[in-house]
Amino acid sequence: MNTSFRFLILTIFISLGFITSCNDDTSPTEEDNYSVNNTDIASTPTTEEPPPYDADEIDKINPEDLSRQIKEIGEKIEELEKESTKQFDEYTKMAEFQKKILEEIKRKKMIMRSKTVGTEEQKKAQKDFEDEKKYGREKLQLLKEKNILFHKLTRSVTEAKNELTNLQKKQEYFLKRQKDKKTKKTKVN
């Protein structure tokens, strides 16, 4: 399964869990508007085939430069994948922590509801619940930002891989063209 898609699913479930646990209005004046908009996160970059190569353009290619570019992009991909793995690990830990926060919110909500309305105990329990909700929102925002960062890294890896593929195809075409020229020259002689 695509890693970005797994992140999207995890983020949606965590967000929905947070919304579900916090969406119970404790007073009629409280305004809690939550929305999860991960449409941009779910979008995947498209890969386009490179345009047919112009023979004159291919003849002007410096093979050393092309090899150097391929090597640099390969190193860039390796670096981006390492960073992506690191971000994924951090994201997973943050998601687990967010689940614990959701459980604590649910627990504090149950405590608040079990107290007699209007008593000091109920007011204290409500304050604890509200504080935990606020803390959960802050951590959820950090989780969303981590998800966006991971998505950008994944997109960068994909784009770099596409660029690498295009350069490799160009190199193959260049080598084939050079071989064909050499063969034609040999046949003429």
- 137: which residues sit within 8 A by CB, 6+ positions away? 18, 22
pLDDT in tens, 1-16: 455 556 556 666 566 5
Q: pLDDT tens for residues 137-172?
A: 999 999 999 999 999 999 999 999 999 999 999 889
Crossing angle of helices 3-22 and 120-188, rounded to 10°: 170
Predicted pLDDT at 3: 57
